Amino acid sequence: MKIKRFVASDMRSAMNLVRKEHGPDAVILSNRRIEEGVEIVAAANYDESAVQRALEAARKDVAPPAPRPRSAADAVIAA
């Protein structure tokens, strides 16, 4: 997967840059307004399964949150 940042004065110009570089199968990962105009981050050869595997691996590295003690309000709601 190839990821690249594109900056142009307007969205139409930015999208043209994306199409020229990555082709019609480009995947837009993000876009936002910046001082220079518009920023688009796009990917070519995007593999959704690879992204999902990376996210799952990252989640395994993060410890699950500790259980929080029940409050009186929780006890009333549960009853």
Alpha-carbon dihedral angle through residues 19, 52, 54, 33, given to the nearest 10 degrees: 40
pLDDT of residue 58: 80
- 1: which residues sit within 8 A by CB, 6+ positions away? 43, 44, 45, 46, 47, 50
pTM exceeds 0.85 for this model: no
Task: Report the range of poorest mean pLDDT among 19-28, 50-59, 61-70.
Answer: 61-70
